[in-house]
Amino acid sequence: MSSEIIFEVREDEVEGGFVATALGYGIVTEADNSKELRERVKEAARCHFGDGVPGIMPKIIRLHFVRDEILAA
């Protein structure tokens, strides 16, 4: 088991805010701003690993922010 879990974070262009999805785990959460996102990601990871899922809670949570930008040609 890795001591790190990575969340891919994307901005929700329709609703606003952020959506974070854990890579390799069934964990998804969302928040209105980056401060709230950090707290929700920690809470989601704690809930996931506290629900009897095999393995130990990772020591590091990494947020990988992905941003798409479209430019007119």
Q: Enumerate domains of the chain plus CATH numbers.
A: 4-66 (3.30.2390)
Mean pLDDT of the 12-39 span = 94
Give residue 2's pLDDT.
65
Integer-rounded Cα Rg, in Å, for the chain is 14
Give residue 73's pLDDT.
86
- Measured distance CA(7)–CA(63) in Å, rounded: 5
Half-sphere exposure of 41 (CA within 13 A, CB side): 24
Give residue 4's pLDDT.
94
Comparing 12-16, 35-39, 52-56, the range with the smallest average pLDDT is 52-56
